[in-house]
């Protein structure tokens, strides 16, 4: 999610960017997997993406901020699996669903999405060891305040949340992906402001994968939701 505030459209006394991330131990049964977080100057963006385009690396999220001249990235590197094939695209918001549908028909999964100078930049990956699987992908939009209900709706239809991004000015983009024809609901949960614990029945989910930390820098509360899924 966008970590830059205030909006450059409203001249601030100061401008700053920062991103919050949570570190968790891997399950005992998982080895050979490392997660990394970094920020780079927008002028070095293409060079950095070229370095990350290798068969053992998957970018799992990004925030592209040309107005602030910076890009934040999260990615994972695996020692046991190879064959990941990265592609980067930028499209208009109105074209995002059509682009996502085409990616899924090609057996590709969108793993990162961000607003970028009024358009949408996204990353998709194929896997050379499995070129036969066909997916279904749905792109949902929401505000930060309604992102959690939007995630719940996608999960109820069997979608795994494979990418999420956004900012205060444009809202949130949520990408849900599932194997074509799959209807089994996915289990999701969230920690919401003021609850101290999960606000939904999330037995086991809080120990699952964290999908997103959502903050709204324009509010006193700031924290909006921390979303998990199994």
The residue written with tokens 């956004």 in the block is 166
* CA distance linking residue 112 with residue 176, whole number of Å: 11
| Per-residue pLDDT tens digits for 26-46 | 777 778 889 899 999 999 999
The residue written with tokens 């066909």 in the block is 134
Model confidence at 226: pLDDT above 90: no
Query: Residue 94 — pLDDT band, cuts 50, 70, 90?
Result: very high
Query: Residue 201 — pLDDT band, cuts 50, 70, 90?
Result: very low
Model confidence at 85: pLDDT above 80: yes
Residue 155, token pair as written in the block: 């999960």
Q: What is the CA radius of gyration of the chain?
A: 17
What b/e sequence results for 15-48 when a residue is b if at least 16 CB atoms lie within 10 Å of its CB, and e otherwise? Answer: eebebeeeeeeeeeeeeeeeeeeeeeeeeebeeb
Residue 120, token pair as written in the block: 């949408």
| Per-residue pLDDT tens digits for 127-157 | 998 889 999 999 999 998 899 999 999 999 9
214 three-class SS: strand
Find the DSSP H helices in the chain: 45-52, 96-105, 147-156
Model confidence at 111: pLDDT above 90: yes
Q: Are 76 and 34 in contact (CB under 8 A)?
A: yes
């Amino acid at each position: 999610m966008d970590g830059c505030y205030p909006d450059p459209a409203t001249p601030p006394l100061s401008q700053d960017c920062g991103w919050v991330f949570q570190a968790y131990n891997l399950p005992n049964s998982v080895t050979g997997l490392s997660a990394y977080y970094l920020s780079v100057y927008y002028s070095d963006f293409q060079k950095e993406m070229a370095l990350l385009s290798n068969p053992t690396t998957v970018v799992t999220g990004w925030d592209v901020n040309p107005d602030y001249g910076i890009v934040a990235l999260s990615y994972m590197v695996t020692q046991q699996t190879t064959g990941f094939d990265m592609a980067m695209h930028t499209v208009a918001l109105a074209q995002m669903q059509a682009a996502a549908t085409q990616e899924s028909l090609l057996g590709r999964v969108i793993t990162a999405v961000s607003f970028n100078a009024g358009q949408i930049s996204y990353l998709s990956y194929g896997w050379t060891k499995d070129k036969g699987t066909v997916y279904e992908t749905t792109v949902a939009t929401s505000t930060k305040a309604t992102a959690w209900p939007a995630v719940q709706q996608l999960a109820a239809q069997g979608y795994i949340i494979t990418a999420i991004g956004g900012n205060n000015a444009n809202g949130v983009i949520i990408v849900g992906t599932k194997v074509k024809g799959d209807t089994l609901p996915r289990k999701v949960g969230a920690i919401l402001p003021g609850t101290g614990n999960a606000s939904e029945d999330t037995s086991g989910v809080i120990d699952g994968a964290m999908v997103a930390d959502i903050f709204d820098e324009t509010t006193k509360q700031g924290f909006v939701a921390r979303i998990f899924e199994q």
